Structure 1
Amino acid sequence: MAIEDNPLTRQQYGAELKRRREAAGLTQEELSVRAVMSRTHIAHIEAGRRRPDVEDARRLDQVLESGGFFENFLPALDGRRVAEHFAEALEFEGRATEIRVYALPFSVGYHSLMEGFVSLMWFEDLPPIAYAEGLKSGRILELPSVVRECQVAYDHALGDALSHRKSLEMLRSIAEDYEHEAQRTQHP
């Protein structure tokens, strides 16, 4: 069944999850433990703000004995795990031997990567490539001069970035804040 991903179908999906969870006599916390998902992710799905990935949907189907409903009610990707414009980058990232994350705080102000992000990838058997992503788009850049421009922009931004360790600390802190805010809004 081809389902379009939009706010209405996410709300319908969430309402059905909540109906089946309650019919099974489970709390969000109990379902999260059995389906190996966070309780806040369950809450976001039920509220229509998020949709699970295929693996989460399969576990929901298994726990709630829903005969594949949650997997089948996901937006169609024509058998693909991700949207077409992300597939090639995902394949390349899978071959990466190391991934490093650097965060640029807003206090830095405008910088060359403000409009999106770039992943630079090097390989033993291929020339380097860049993956650039913006609003609703992503693409692999292979032309050596373009990859070099991305490297230069990245290097300039890296000069203002937090260290790798501090970047990860910041991301963890943001994730914790998000989790606490989600819990606060669920239980005012």
Structure 2
Amino acid sequence: MAGPKDLDPSSSPRALLGAELRHAREKAGLSQEELGQRLFVSGSFIGQLEAGTRRMQPEYARMLDEVLGAEDFFRRNCGAAAKSRYPDHFAEAAEAEARATAISQYTTLLIPGLLQTRAYAEAVFRAYKPTAPDAEIDALVAARLERSHLLDDPTRPMLWVVLDEAVLRRETGGPGVMAQTLQHVMTLIRQRRIIVQVLPFSRGAHSAMDGPLKLMEFADAPPLSFVEAPDMGKLLDDPATVARHTRMFNLLLAESLSASESLALIESVAQDYGHAEQHP
């Protein structure tokens, strides 16, 4: 009997690959936990592969082919499901973000990617890659702005952001760019599309001194935490780790200004940038 056909890259490869994995697993009579044990991963990890919230890496594709007797189906199709416009260290997180029902994020130095304007994003990428050609910067900016279309849906994902005060004070792209970007953030707040709180310098030490943090919740898969460093990023699904990071975020909320106080501070800083642009 002929084996399964390759996935169509023009469709949704990751979703199709996940559906094929679920079918093959159930046909083999294995639970997610049982299959996870054979791959030395958690059952929730298998669930995330099936739901399309996690990228199937080549080593897991090879093991799945062996365990499920799928010939080389998963290995063949792993590449199509892994294609992304984003850097390798962030691609899996961006794809999970697109499926999330809720995102909670703390940023230390820059406006979150989902809230950036074109000019702000360009300034960030120019700083990251000062010698890159215009075409490369344009592609990075386009990919970042495409992510922001997640907020076109009026309710999903729910986005709750904590901004360190340094995010507001670090002049990125000049006062005009900062004023424009903060106005954009304020518009989304006033439209009740996002919730933003500012963690002021006056609070001193806090629960997330080690760096930025992102938590994601899903309708059909366990929650994930994403942590990153320069050119590095990792999605974490260990329940204890995700619970610990959730507590960290909740502590940040407790230390932050209220939503109304935060909006007032953002507006004040935006006005300062606007005046600086008009009277350099």
Normalized against structure 2, the TM-score is what?
Answer: 0.35
Structure possessing the higher radius of gyration over alpha carbons:
2
Normalized against structure 1, the TM-score is what?
Answer: 0.47
